[in-house]
Amino acid sequence: MIHRKRLYIVLVFFLFLAISAALYGQTSGTLTIPTNFQVIDTPSDSGDSLLVIFDKMPGESKDKSYIIYRSSSQDGAFTETARFESDKEYGSDNAQWFGFKKENSNFHAYKVSPIWQMKDVKIRSLGGKVETSQKRVKPLLSYYKIGVMEGIHTLAGTTALSGIPRENWFRKDRLNSMFILIFLFGIVFFFIAQAQRNPNMFLRKIPGIDAVDEAVGRATEMGKPILYSTGYYDISELSTICSVSILAHVAKKVAQYDSRLIVPCKWPVAMTVCQEVVREAYINAGRPDAFNPGDIFFIAGEQFSYTIGVDSIMVREKPAANFFMGTFAAEALILAETGAATGAIQIAGTDSNYQIPFFIVACDYCLISEELYAASAYLGRNPQLIGSLKAQDMGKMILFLALLLGTILLTLAVFFPDVKFFDVGIFNLIKNFFTVR
Amino acid sequence: MNFLKRRFPIIIVLLTGVLIMIAYYVPHTPFSDFWDGASKWYQIIAGFTMVLGVVSLVRNHYRKIREGKQGFGYSIAMFVIMMATVAFGVLPTEISPIFGNRSGSVFMWIFEYINTAASATVYSLLAFYIASASYRAFRVRSLDATIMLVTALVVMVGRVPYGEIFSNYLTDHIGKGLAFLRLDNLTSFLLNYPTVATRRAITLGLGLATVSTSLRIILGIEKTYMGGDN
Amino acid sequence: MLKFLSRIDRRVIYLLMAVAIIIPILVPLNLPVQITKEVRGVYDEIDRLPAGSRILVVFDYEPASQPEVEPMAIAVMRHCLSKNLKVVAISYLQLGRGNAEIVFNMIQKEFEKKGRILKYGEDIANMGFKPGYSAMILGLGKDFKGTCVTDYMGKDVYSLPILKDVEGLNDFKYLACLHDDSSISYWILYAYEIVGIKIGSFCTAVMAPGIYANLDAGQLTGIVGGLKGASEYEKLLNYRGSATIGMDSQTIIHMLIVIFILIGNFSYLLKERRLKKEQFL
Amino acid sequence: MSAYAPWATTLGIWIAAGITLAVYSFLYKDNPFYKLAEHLYIGVSTGYLLVIAWQDAIYPQFIVPVFFQSPPVYMILLPGIMGLMMYTRFFKKVSWISRISLAFVIGWTSGVAAPVVIQGSLIRHMGSTIIPLFRLEFFSLNIWSILFGILALGFWAALLYLVQKDKYADWGTGRRAILVSGVILFTILFFVAAVFFSRVTVGDVYNYIFRGDRSKLDLFNKSVDAFMSTFYLLVILVGVITVLFYFFYSIEHKKILKGVAKTGIIFQMLFFGAAFGYTVMGRVSLAIGRMRFLIIDWIKPSTGFQWIIGLGVFAVLAVLFLLQDRSRRSSETE
């Protein structure tokens, strides 16, 4: 009995072996070159790569891999440029080129670089020795073949296709952002036009902004200076530009009340700009002689040396009001606490999320993130600026609708998967639009 | 002349802005080069402008020294160390290994033992200031302040052993069902949902603000930064 | 009393803070350290390994985060070497190589004091910085020596006895990843998912919340996060390293800050009360 | 580990320690030692920036491509000239010329900002916020959910109506409490019924609790997970919308809108509180690192000889500062 059982087991075992061997032979024997092989220019790129596309084949797995060969001529020596596992690199992995269609998972797409025409560039160092390095000039017509390999078996295709990358005239994958950009342009223009027709629009109160004048007034009463910091970034950053236009307002008030304004700067260009802005304020107030460029100076260009410098000023000059407007990093609390210790009234405004809590705690008023950008419009009361604020609100309104409708539609799309918009489902439509490729 | 002073810069802003926007969508030759080049250009311009700042700095301190104001000694010390740093840093390493900015050079020594030490210390002042700020200003003035305070406390206490003792006591002795009250769970909830929501909203709003601001600038509506006429 | 509470001088607070930081550095406090399951997950995996089996330690942190990560590095080294495991270090950041050197020197000196000489190439080895991110890891997975070629001193890896009969990553029993950025995701993708080597994460406190997802997904055996995690690990090895000391200070300071907040509000509320009363009178 | 000669390292450590102490002394009050440290630091960092500007920007990107490279790239002369134009700031007459290069820089950054921000923050965050609320297999409009849904809607409608009509304000706390709790309770019940009870029935729960029938246990857990995920998604959605609303400028926050804005504020406060508590940890370890440097790297290894010199230097400086101080006082009294 038992013996027979054993016999069966042995038989089954051998059978299994035979089958597996046969299967192995099968797979390794018939390596097939993928069909429908083509080389195309990579869509919407700056012309430095090509796409190799071929069909998905049966029996793809991670121990079977595709190889791409490259050569400079039709019948020249082809060398391997890329190798990837055969169950990877489907068209569906690259939404930026093919979108979210179902069919994308039926073909492979692999990005390959062409052969480049190089030129030498000689660089002479101060020591006098000359180094030569290569620089790309333009891509050449290059030929590609595909091969497939499994284990030790390799099979290279015979058809060699050629391609040369072209520079495309448009980034299709950025269509969505372009759409939004143009749309926002539109509403900004529209609302600016409208604001010029009726300048007095309603704006809700923002306590921090109303406090600015109050702080300046208080400083003048106490006959103490005012300190204004434009933050971490150079004038090129938008937050700094907004800060500067708030500074313009502050400077105007200061010039009227005839008190002193100290602006320690972290960036040279920002410094010169601040000087111009403040000088103009004094000129408009009719007392250019009162302007002292020495009060608007460059302290130090490095984060913490700037911090330490401003701290020292606070401790020595004891300003009655400190303004911290712009982007701030770790130094935020150091500045704010030192200022609080000197008993100054402090108004902060920053767009850097992680510093807002510290400003809220340590300062008297804090403009939260985008309020900083709105402040100049509030203070300037210039119809055009207010118009742009309106436009912002409209933009928010649209984001609302997009959020709500989008969520509802997607939720529905889950329940009714086969509802079609144009040729893609709602799901894909929305996904398509709100995806960064 | 007035055109050159006022209009021309605005026109340049407009041109550059629009060109770079186009370059973002058009990867073809003139634009793509513009896109690549501009950042390098900015670096170069900024590099030159560093001198502006230094000149301003030198001017201020030179005034101090010339007028012999009290504490001009510090200014002198500053000059000396600044000159030394620049000299050792700019001279090429080919002359001697103590020059240049390789590790082992004087420049790096100064950087490591003065600059790094000082900046690390200033940075670490934060720990002290956080303490004083928490004591001085972290008050339950209003509902909002209270919420903020409680959240901060939960997150802080949740990260130290005592917090965990509390949490374990909660789950082990009072009831398994209270697991959601464990401080670490509360913390992770706070960090994963309300925080994320707020951050997103703020980012979205900021995004809109940025776009409209940059439009204001490009269209020359916001031109305070240009300063006055004269 | 209220007066006193409501206006403690800043400097007193600063002084208390300083004391709170310094005292644990000078005299150990042995504050209780609760062992979390995340840290256990790492410790047990390493503790379970038989003597003589190899472990790969990845140094993916920059010098900036040394104070936080180095204690972990030392702890895990001690653990492995005291259990006679063979430690191979590799780095994936250019700056990481230096850290590995520093830690190795310390450990070697320490064991010499104990009278055990750690031979480089037999007990420990440092592959140094290997460029090429995912490709590098994939390479290690298939052919470890072929990918490394030389160690950080330029020695041929085939000459190192520690790597004798090492084919790929799966000849290592465990992978301890010391990181201060998201580089661990590469190891998870290309080492765990493909080769299946068990991974433990040793990361900064800031990174920790981010990788809990991987822990839940079972891609990590555990997480040692920040000073806290390090101190727990040291507790498990029952010695008091810099992490435990740092953690002492940190605990005290957190408590101190919490107390400050409470005192501040307590006095504030009392004042409010008084003011109200006065209004009634 | 140091790349310097031992004496250099020791000297460096002493200087570093001195600077550290000097900076910390600022916590007590402003003093000459702090002033010295401050000026040294500012000097070094400025010098450092100059060197970096030379080594990373001007030399490799301007001088090399124009002068030391064949073929040279003359295009690079343009930014160089712009950079030089910045110096016209020194001369009032022609200072407007610098505006041209300034204009280029600002135009460039604001031009880049707009599309990049749209791509990077608007689209990305919208995309990650817009996701289906329910999972198909875990949602059903069973009788309970419909009932609760109707009730919830009713309460919501009542609340909104009353608030809008300003009736809500002059109600007693009791009635308010009923109204609000009704809103909250039934909304939650609706989701519980719709999501949780979509796969399990009330009977199952009864059996589980009273009969100890554990057969449906994993289904219970799955349902709970589904419910929680829906809940979390709702939290995020509500948070985003309310906070976004808080930043409306042209709409006054009153009546219902006040409530919305208030919710927005609460969400923000949760964020700020969490951020505060979270940052404390990292900051503290910085101070610890500094103290460790003082004690372990400086005090412990230092020899008596070094101490003598160090204290000597300290004394000399102190005397100098005292003298200076006195001279100032005398000059003031005159």
Which residues in chain B have Cβ-Cβ distances shorter than 8 Å to A181? 21, 211
Q: Rounded CA gap, B76 and B63, in Å?
A: 11
CB contact under 8 A, B118 and D41: yes
CB contacts under 8 A, C 205-264 vs D, are 205-206, 226-227, 242, 246, 249-250, 253-254, 257
User: DSSP letter at C87?
Assistant: E
Q: Give just the sign of the alpha carbon dihedral B216, B222, B223, B225.
A: negative
Q: How many CB atoms lie within 10 A of CB D200?
A: 16
A254 and A237 belong to one structural domain: yes
A327 and A358 belong to one structural domain: yes
Q: How many CB atoms lie within 10 A of CB B86?
A: 20
Residue A13 in any domain: the answer is no
B65-123 pLDDT per residue, tens: 888 777 788 899 999 999 999 998 888 777 777 787 666 678 878 887 888 888 888 88
CB contact under 8 A, C257 and B160: no
Q: Rounded CA gap, C117 and C228, in Å?
A: 31
Half-sphere exposure of D211 (CA within 13 A, CB side): 11
CB contact under 8 A, A204 and D251: yes
CB contact under 8 A, B121 and D76: no
Give the per-residue pLDDT at C15.
93
Give the per-residue pLDDT at C7.
77
**Residue D271 in contact with partner chain B when CB distance is under 8 A:** yes
Arch. (CATH architecture) of C31-239: 3-Layer(aba) Sandwich (3.40)
Give the per-residue pLDDT at B228.
60
Residue A184 in any domain: the answer is yes
Interface test with D, best of A411, A433, A435 (most D CBs within 10 A): A411
**A: neighbours with 3+ CB pairs under 8 Å?**
B, D
Q: How far is B196 from chain D (nearest CA, A)?
A: 7
- Picking from A222, A224, A218, A216, the residue whose alpha carbon sits closest to that of residue A247 is A216
CB contact under 8 A, B162 and C228: no
φ and ψ at B95, to 5 degrees?
-65, -50
CB contact under 8 A, D68 and A123: yes
**Domain positions in chain B:** 1-67, 70-137
Q: Rounded CA gap, B119 and B131, in Å?
A: 20
Report whether the peptide linkage leading into residue D6 is cis, meaning its omega lies within 30 degrees of zero.
no
Q: Pick from D106, D123, D252: which is nearest to A436 by CB?
A: D123
Domain count, chain A: 3
Q: Which residues contact B8 (CB under 8 A, 6 or more apart)?
A: D100, D103
**Residue A192 in contact with partner chain B when CB distance is under 8 A:** yes
User: DSSP letter at D295?
Assistant: I
Which residue positions in chain D have pLDDT lower than 70? 1-3, 282, 329-334
CB contacts under 8 A, B 172-191 vs A, are none
pLDDT(B14) > 50: yes
For chains A and B, count residue pairs whose Cβ atoms are closer than 8 Å: 196
Which residues in chain A have Cβ-Cβ distances shorter than 8 Å to B119? 302-305
Element (H, E) at C18: helix C10-26
Q: Rounded CA gap, A323 and A330, in Å?
A: 17
Answer yes or no: are the C-beta atoms of D268 and B198 closer than 8 Å.
yes
Give Cα B44 distance to the centre of its chain: 21
Q: What is the pTM of this model?
A: 0.82
Interface test with C, best of D1, D24, D288, D295 (most C CBs within 10 A): D288
CB contact under 8 A, B135 and C264: yes
A191 and A211 belong to one structural domain: no
CB contact under 8 A, C261 and B131: no
Residue A129 in any domain: the answer is no
Which residue positions in chain A have pLDDT lower than 50? 1, 25-28, 422-423
**Residue C17 in contact with partner chain D when CB distance is under 8 A:** yes
**Domain positions in chain D:** 137-279
Q: How far is D288 from chain C (nearest CA, A)?
A: 6
CB contacts under 8 A, B 29-88 vs A, are 29, 32, 42, 46, 49-54, 56-57, 60, 63
Answer yes or no: are the C-beta atoms of D153 and D145 closer than 8 Å.
no
3-class SS of residue A318:
coil
Please give the residue range of the domain that contains residue A192.
175-196+385-433
Nearest CA in chain A to D114: A181
Give the per-residue pLDDT at A25.
45
**B: neighbours with 3+ CB pairs under 8 Å?**
A, C, D
Answer yes or no: are the C-beta atoms of B128 and D27 closer than 8 Å.
yes
Rounded to two decimals, the ipTM of the complex is 0.82
**Residue A192 in contact with partner chain D when CB distance is under 8 A:** no
Alpha helix positions (H), A66-206: 95-98, 175-197
Answer yes or no: are the C-beta atoms of A100 and A94 closer than 8 Å.
no
Distances (CA, A) of A154 to A148, A387, D132: 6, 67, 46
CB contact under 8 A, B130 and C250: no
φ and ψ at C7, to 5 degrees?
-135, 70
Answer yes or no: are the C-beta atoms of A240 and A253 closer than 8 Å.
no
CB contact under 8 A, B131 and C250: no
Q: Rounded CA gap, A179 and C92, in Å?
A: 41
A133-156 pLDDT per residue, tens: 677 788 888 888 888 888 777 888
Angle ∠(D211,D216,D221) on CA atoms, nearest 5: 115
**Residue B96 in contact with partner chain A when CB distance is under 8 A:** no
CB contacts under 8 A, A 249-308 vs D, are 269, 272-273, 276, 299-302, 304-305, 308
Q: Rounded CA gap, A379 and A242, in Å?
A: 11
Answer yes or no: are the C-beta atoms of A58 and A73 closer than 8 Å.
no
C8-22 pLDDT per residue, tens: 888 999 999 999 888
CB contact under 8 A, D47 and B85: yes
Which residues in chain D have Cβ-Cβ distances shorter than 8 Å to C257? 280
A294 and A331 belong to one structural domain: yes
CB contact under 8 A, D86 and B48: yes
Residue A304 in any domain: the answer is yes
CB contacts under 8 A, C 48-87 vs D, are 67-68
Q: Helices D256-292 and B117-137 sit at what angle, rounded to 10 degrees?
A: 140
Compute, in degrees rounded to 10, the torsion defined by CA atoms A397, A403, A409, A414. 180
Q: Rounded CA gap, C110 and C156, in Å?
A: 27
**The pairing of beta strand A79-85 with beta strand A153-156:** unpaired
Which residues in chain C have Cβ-Cβ distances shorter than 8 Å to B136? 10, 264
Give Cα B91 distance to the centre of its chain: 30
A72 and A186 belong to one structural domain: no
Which residues in chain B have Cβ-Cβ distances shorter than 8 Å to C268? 139-140
Place of tokens 């010295």: D36
Q: How far is D159 from chain B (nearest CA, A)?
A: 22
User: DSSP letter at A92?
Assistant: G
Nearest CA in chain C to B154: C258
CB contacts under 8 A, D 107-166 vs C, are none
Which residues in chain B have Cβ-Cβ distances shorter than 8 Å to C31? 161
Q: Pick from B149, B164, B168: which is nearest to C261 by CB?
A: B149
Which residues in chain B have Cβ-Cβ distances shorter than 8 Å to C209? 188, 191-192
**Residue B198 in contact with partner chain D when CB distance is under 8 A:** yes
Half-sphere exposure of A187 (CA within 13 A, CB side): 20
Interface test with D, best of C11, C16, C21 (most D CBs within 10 A): C21
**Residue A201 in contact with partner chain D when CB distance is under 8 A:** yes
CB contact under 8 A, A276 and B228: yes
Nearest CA in chain A to D131: A407
CB contact under 8 A, B224 and A376: yes
Surface-to-core class of residue A282, CB atoms within 10 Å of its CB (0-12 exposed, 13-18 middle, 19+ buried): buried
Q: Pick from B204, B214, B221: which is nearest to A238 by CB?
A: B214
Q: Which residues contact B20 (CB under 8 A, 6 or more apart)?
A: B34, B35, B38, D107, D108, D111, D112
Q: How far is C59 from chain D (nearest CA, A)?
A: 17
Alpha helix positions (H), A41-129: 95-98
Average of per-residue pLDDT across C101-119? 85
Confidence of residue B230 (pLDDT cuts 50, 70, 90): very low
Q: Rounded CA gap, A122 and D73, in Å?
A: 12
